[in-house]
Structure 1
Amino acid sequence: MRAITTIWYREFLNYIRDKARIISSVVMSVTMLFVFTFALGEFDTSMLGIEQIQYLLPGIIATTAFMTSISNALSVVTDKTDGFMKEFLVSPTKRSNIAVGKILGSATTAVIQGTIILAISPFFGMRYTIGMILGIYIAMIAISVTSSSIGLFLASTAKSAIGFQMQVQMLMMPMMFLSGAYVPIELLPNWIRPVVYINPVTYAVSAFRNISINTTNIPNVVLEKMGLVLKIGDFKVTPVVSISIMLIIGLVFLLLAIRAFKRTSITNKVSLKRGMH
Structure 2
Amino acid sequence: MNALVYRGLLLFFKNKQAVIGSFIGALIMIILYVFLLDDSLVNSLSVLSHPKLVVDTWMLAGVIGISSASSTLGSVSLMIRDKERSVYTDFMISPISKSKIMLGYFFSTFLISLLVTSVVIIVAEIYIVTLSKGTLLSLPQFGLLFLVSLLTVFCSSAFMFFIASFFRRIDTFSTMTSIIGPLIGFLTGCYVPIGSLPETAQTVVQYFPLTSGVVLIRRILTENVFTAADKPAMDTIKEELGIVMNGQNDVLLPIAILILSSLLFLVLALWNVKRVEVKR
In the alignment, is residue 97 of structure 1 matched against residue 100 of structure 2? yes
TM (normalized to structure 1)?
0.84
Q: 1:62 to 1:165 in 2, by over 3 A?
A: same
From 94, 117, 128, the equivalent of 2:137 is 128
- Alpha-carbon spacing, 1:13–1:238, altered in 2? closer, same or farther (3 Å): farther
Change in CA separation of 1:255 and 1:28 when aligned onto 2, cut-off 3 Å: closer
Matched, 1:33 2:30: yes
How far 1:117 moved relative to its partner? Answer: 1.4
Partners of 1:255 and 1:168 in 2: CA distance: 21
Residue 245 of structure 2 corresponds to residue 230 of structure 1:
yes
Q: TM-score, structure 2 length as denominator?
A: 0.83
CA distance in 1, matches of 2:62, 2:243: 11
Provide the alpha-carbon RMSD of the alignment. 2.4
Post-superposition offset of 1:213 = 1.6
1:165 paired residue among 174, 177, 185? 174
Shift, 1:72, TM fit: 2.0
* Secondary structure, counterpart of 2:276 in structure 1: coil
Secondary structure of the equivalent of 1:211?
A: helix
Moved over 6 A (4+): none
For residue 68 of structure 1, report the CA deviation from its aligned partner. 0.9
Which residue of structure 1 lines up, in the alignment, with residue 82 of structure 2? Answer: 79
- Among 52, 55, 70, the alignment partner of 2:55 is 52
| CA contact 1:71–1:168 (8 Å) conserved in 2 | no
Identity within the alignment, %: 21
Report the number of matched residues.
262
Structure 2 SS opposite 1:12: helix
Aligned CA distance change for structure 1 residues 194 and 223 (closer, same or farther; 3 Å): closer
SS of equivalent residue, structure 2 residue 41: coil
C-alpha contact 2:23 2:71 (8 A) present in aligned 1? no
Following TM superposition, by how much is the alpha carbon of 1:163 offset from its aligned partner in structure 2, in angstroms? 1.7
Kept in 2: contact 1:207–1:238 (CA 8 A):
no
User: 2 CA distance for matches of 1:267 and 1:206?
Assistant: 40
Larger displacement relative to structure 2 (102-111 or 148-157): 148-157
Residue type of the partner of 1:37? V
**Runs (5+) with no aligned partner, structure 2:** 130-135
Amino acid at match of 1:227: G
Matched, 1:22 2:37: no
> Which residue of the other structure, out of 1, 7, 11, is the alignment partner of 1:10?
7
Please state how far the C-alpha of 1:27 moved relative to its aligned partner: 5.8
Does the 8 Å CA contact 1:206/1:239 hold for their aligned counterparts? no
Q: What does residue 254 of structure 2 align with?
A: 242
- Any residues of structure 2 matched to 1:58-73 within 5 Å, and which? 58-73=61-76
Which stretches in structure 1 are left out of the alignment for 5+ residues? 269-277
Output the amino acid matched with 1:186.
Answer: G
Task: Give deviations 1:99-133, integer Å, cap 9, x for gaps.
Answer: 22222111111111111211222342242222222
Correspondence for 1:203 among 205, 212, 216: 212
**Superimposed CA distance per residue, residues 29-81 of structure 1 (whole angstroms, 9 cap, x where no aligned partner):** 23531432332232235627325333200110111111111442211111111
